[in-house]
């Protein structure tokens, strides 16, 4: 209380002194470097007035009595007192502007729910309130009970202030995915074989995991859409990998393709029951506006890109070209002669010698 009284009294004296020619002294007090050796983090609590801040800084030995008096007087003189290597003048501006330290956490495209939760729980900058990694518990905490969490959180780099909870962070990522998905769904092509925005989210997750090349996603989406329209199996490897879970060792074997699991698109027609990962904006927009064409197959040709085929015969030739490296029975190689794009069947003039980066 005594400090507050002194600040008020001496503030009045400073005012009269400044008017009487002591303005230079006031300038020096407000523009002398403060004794800060390292970065300082200061939390301005609600309803804190300028005198309380000044007293706290004096207690921290950041400013002395004369500087505190000059600081409070300046705030009141400039009408800033109620708004609540630097100088007191700059510090006052920082407090008034309400600048806060922003922390970041990135959720990459293609991550699954378990990777998201692991990153959130490991973040040293979030305030942790979750005491369970159970999917149902987490979805209840963020206000969406009985929803499957996979694919529900938007991949992005998020900035947040100190004190943000893990639940608030997840709610924000969920809301952003919901907003982006619904906005894209409203602009969808009418002939899509998709009934809901959620089905678009599922398909987008498959597209996301099939290719990392943004320019290819509309083509991949086009293949899947045409397959759905024709009642064909999607036959996408990422769905099999998701079905295998922790049993996946980096290789897909023949037996894996016949795995009895609702996520195995080599066995089950249509879409998997849920997304298999978090699709990004490009994958979502590719699904609601897929590329036109006739291709029904694709195979990785190196460099993260794919070769697209119109029919199974051409696809088999592409597999010989890019996966088997030309090692196939002669009968297959002879048949590939009808597909000019399959260079391995034309005496070794392969696409990999010209267009493919490995």
Q: How far apart are CA 202 and CA 277, in angstroms?
A: 8
| Cβ neighbours around 340 below 10 Å, total | 9
For the chain, give the mean pLDDT.
79
Rounded to an integer, the average pLDDT of 130-145 is 93
When mean pLDDT is compared over 32-36, 102-106, 149-153, 314-318, the highest value belongs to 149-153
Question: Contact at 8 Å (CB) between 96 and 76?
Answer: no
Check residue 21 and give its pLDDT: 47
| Share above pLDDT 90 across residues of the chain, in percent, rounded to a whole number | 47
Q: How far apart are CA 312 and CA 295, in angstroms?
A: 10
Query: Which has more confidence, 160 or 342?
Result: 160
Q: How far apart are CA 209 and CA 220, in angstroms?
A: 11
* Consecutive H or E run containing 157: strand 157-161
Long-range contacts at 211-217 (CB < 8 A, ≥ 24 apart): 211/304, 211/305, 211/306, 212/110, 212/304, 213/304, 213/305, 214/282, 216/305, 216/306, 217/282, 217/283, 217/286
What confidence tens digit (pLDDT) does each residue in 304-325 have? 888 888 888 888 888 887 777 6
Conformation bin of residue 291: beta by default, left when phi > 0, alpha when psi is -120 to 50 = beta
pLDDT of residue 142 exceeding 80, the answer is: yes
Rounded to an integer, the average pLDDT of 6-15 is 47
| Share above pLDDT 70 across residues of the chain, in percent, rounded to a whole number | 69
Structure tokens at 6: 């002194």
């Amino acid at each position: 209380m005594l400090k507050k009284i002194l600040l008020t009294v001496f503030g009045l004296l400073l005012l009269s002194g400044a008017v009487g020619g002591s303005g230079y002294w006031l300038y020096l007090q407000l523009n002398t470097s403060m004794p800060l050796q390292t970065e300082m983090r200061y939390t301005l609590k609600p309803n804190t007035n300028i005198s309380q801040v000044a007293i706290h800084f004096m207690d921290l030995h950041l400013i002395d009595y004369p500087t505190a008096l000059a600081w409070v007087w300046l705030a009141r003189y400039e009408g800033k007192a109620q708004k609540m290597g630097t100088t007191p003048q700059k510090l006052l501006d920082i407090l008034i502007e309400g600048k806060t330290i922003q922390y970041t956490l990135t959720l990459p495209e293609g991550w699954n729910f378990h990777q998201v939760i692991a990153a959130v729980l490991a973040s040293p900058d979030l305030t942790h309130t979750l005491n369970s990694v159970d999917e149902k518990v987490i979805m209840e905490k963020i206000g969406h009970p009985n929803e499957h969490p996979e694919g529900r959180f938007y991949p992005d780099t998020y900035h947040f202030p100190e004190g943000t909870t893990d639940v608030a962070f997840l709610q924000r990522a969920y809301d952003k995915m919901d907003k982006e998905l619904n906005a894209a769904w409203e602009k969808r092509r009418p002939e899509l074989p998709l009934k809901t925005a959620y089905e678009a989210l599922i398909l987008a997750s498959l597209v996301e995991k099939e290719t990392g090349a943004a320019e290819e996603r509309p083509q991949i989406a086009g293949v899947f859409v045409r397959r759905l329209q024709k009642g064909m199996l999607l036959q996408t490897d990422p769905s099999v990998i998701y079905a295998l879970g922790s049993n996946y060792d980096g290789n897909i074997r023949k037996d894996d393709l016949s795995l009895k699991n609702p996520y195995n698109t080599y066995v089950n027609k249509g879409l998997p029951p849920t997304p298999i990962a978090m699709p990004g904006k490009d994958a979502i927009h590719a699904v609601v506006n897929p590329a036109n064409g006739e291709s029904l197959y694709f195979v990785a040709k190196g460099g993260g890109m794919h070769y697209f085929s119109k029919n199974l015969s051409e696809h088999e030739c592409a597999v010989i070209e890019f996966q088997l490296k030309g090692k196939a029975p002669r009968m297959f190689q002879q048949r590939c002669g009808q597909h000019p794009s399959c260079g391995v069947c034309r005496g070794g003039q392969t696409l990999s010698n010209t267009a493919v980066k490995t």
